Chains A and B, each alone.
Chain A
């Protein structure tokens, strides 16, 4: 746990350095595409607001998640590039070498566009079997009012579940504070009370996935300034403020995985991923129609859908090929047949997602808005089908607009990289942004000795 704390603090320092330098790279390592954005911080970024962890912790909840439009002038995207990903499957790295080459491609292109060299990168990925835990901690307030040290102790008092073998904490965000009988506090510091409790959301992923990603990024001469879950970042960028406040689920339908994140009170309280996505639909089409994967992908994008109508029987799709066999190269299928291939897979994905939402207790939230985003959500009729399976309140989400983002990158497939911009500019307070309890902090022993001296003499 100490190692995690140090590693995360080191990444925070990297991020601080990048803020001072004025530029940072954001990497979305997805199963179907790898995207790199280069963010320039311009305008006066008040360091007390953004850089200092203490100040970050000063506004738990109020400053944390919500898309704060006033802050948008502070950064601008000056480089953007995206490429077809190689060596990534199910949201995690499968072939290191290929992934490294793909990352190099996007970073080089983005740097060329920005005409700037970046040294720090924030990466996000969707796979690696994320698991959510809700932790509860409780402690007595030492003095009459809640201090930083009390917060540190209440975090330390959280009961840590058994994470399993080789799993690492990706996010650990305090989402709620309880002081005596009052709950729903965002920042209890300075308030008087006797018993302080907190709820924390912990997200763990497989250690190997993070290590592989860190290694690939290091091989590209970049320093890792933060790692985040794609499901979380998609939620940050696609959910509007009231949805984040009242409770909503963001379903990021990517290529290899479908990420699920649930937000309430502007905090993520649950994240999970279904290891099925748009690539599986393409692969179904490829198998069903006996066509290459690239052509299946193209047919899905051009003619795909999930709701067949009578019109679709008459709409014939030509399937060309270069096998040399005339009959095979001149086949035609109706769009209904294509939908017949696509729809079962989409239903499977959505039902799996439904199961995850049920497991998370989504039906207990005050508002049950569901936002579909990601590349696969662009299939026509997807919102109608999702409405039948997931619940009545479904909408298609697009990422919020940010300065300098190229038009080609404003689609819903890029919601997680846009969320990474928000994450880079205003990261939510995580556990490691707060103090370590002084009982566990040897560097404070001299201070405590002096305090003892002062108290007793």
Chain B
């Protein structure tokens, strides 16, 4: 049986099909799209644009931008203020009570504070700026800011016109000293620029071991050389170069002939080849008389 409704002609007839040829426009478009730079743009530029464009449009409004900023700030704040991140205590180890106070004063932290707001490197620099601190270790340990400090050891007392200061072995200023009697264990130095030659002073003091019962201190003269001051106002003028050896020789002389026990207020060693002794007037008188007697004696 043949169907009553005939099939439509153009479905069967291949010549009536749509022409497969592209239109001039689509041909040109395809050739344009095949350009290498267009392909790169389509592969990279368009996805980037699609991703960034909604954000750009959304944030082009100032109110939205500020709202977003506020939201971010609030989120940040909430996280920072969580108790897990709070630092409530600061413990300072390895420092004297005065230094501990000084560190607390210097840092001036208002506890409790969020650990996000603590800049450990800056705090450490601030602490190490203090004169008495050699170096400091800082760490945050479950709500406690631990500061381990190693103090500088005082080695010398430096007398200035307006007071006394403690110096460490390198000549670095540590602290003010109220009275010399507070640190009688430390040797005394004085004079302008004495702190710069602190190491030389310490070496001299070590050499001067046998004299230490009589030693009063060292005086820097003209920021250039040392004078060693003993009790009874006795003074040893040391040379600028190689003062240790000069001092060693003097000590050897003293041990052999007990030079320093005599009435010689000034021993001038500034020129190594020609040490000069300055006698006190009384001693000079005695010496002159003795010489006179001798000369009389010889005359006789």
Contacts and interface: CB of A to CB of B under 8 A. Distances in A.
A102 B27 CA distance: 12
A102 B28 CA distance: 15
B274 to A, nearest CB: 93
A108 B22 contact: yes
A74 interface: no
A180 interface: no
B15 interface: yes
A220 B30 contact: no
Nearest to B9: A322
Given A111-B30, A112-B30, A104 B15 contact: no
Contact of B21 (A104, A116, A221, A324): A104
Interface in A85-106: 101-102, 104-105
A117 B31 contact: yes
B119 interface: no
Interface string A110-141: 01100111000000000000000000000000
Contacts of B15: 294
Nearest to B36: A117
A217 to B, nearest CB: 13
A72 to B, nearest CB: 27
Given A117-B34, A117-B35, A294-B14, A221 B28 contact: yes
A327 to B, nearest CB: 14
A24 B9 CA distance: 42
B20 interface: yes
Interface string B3-34: 00010010010110001111010111011001
B31 A104 contact: no
A108 B30 contact: yes
B34 A116 contact: yes
Contacts of A108: 22, 26-27, 30
A83 interface: yes
A105 B22 contact: yes
B21 A105 contact: yes
Interface string A211-224: 00000000011000
Interface string B43-66: 000000000000000000000000
Contacts of A102: 21
A270 B247 CA distance: 123
Interface magnitude class on chain B = 10 to 19
Contacts of B31: 111, 117, 221
Contacts of A115: 34
A324 B4 CA distance: 12
Interface string B68-109: 000000000000000000000000000000000000000000
A294 B20 CA distance: 17
B20 A105 contact: yes
A93 to B, nearest CB: 15
Interface magnitude class on chain A = 10 to 19
Interface string A171-202: 00000000000000000000000000000000
Contacts of B9: 322
Contacts of A105: 20-22
B34 A83 contact: no
A324 B28 CA distance: 44
A105 B30 CA distance: 12
A8 B12 CA distance: 47
A313 B264 CA distance: 158
A163 B160 CA distance: 123
A101 B21 contact: yes
Contacts of B34: 111, 115-117
B37 to A, nearest CB: 11
A448 B24 CA distance: 52
A111 B32 CA distance: 11
Contacts of A322: 9, 12
A325 to B, nearest CB: 12
Nearest to A220: B27
A379 B56 CA distance: 68
Contacts of B30: 108, 111-112
Most buried by A among B9, B26, B27: B27
Nearest to B14: A294
Given A220-B27, A322-B12, A104 B22 contact: yes
B19 A101 contact: yes
Interface in A348-394: none
Nearest to B28: A221
Contacts of B21: 101-102, 104-105
Given A111-B31, A112-B30, A294-B14, A83 B20 contact: yes
A83 B19 CA distance: 11
Nearest to B6: A324
Nearest to A111: B34
A112 B24 CA distance: 16
Given A111-B31, A117-B34, A220-B27, 8 more contacts: A104-B24, A105-B20, A108-B26, A115-B34, A117-B35, A221-B27, A294-B14, A322-B12
21 contacts: A101-B19, A101-B21, A102-B21, A104-B21, A104-B22, A104-B24, A104-B27, A107-B27, A108-B22, A108-B27, A108-B30, A111-B30, A115-B34, A116-B34, A117-B31, A220-B27, A221-B27, A221-B28, A294-B15, A322-B9, A324-B6
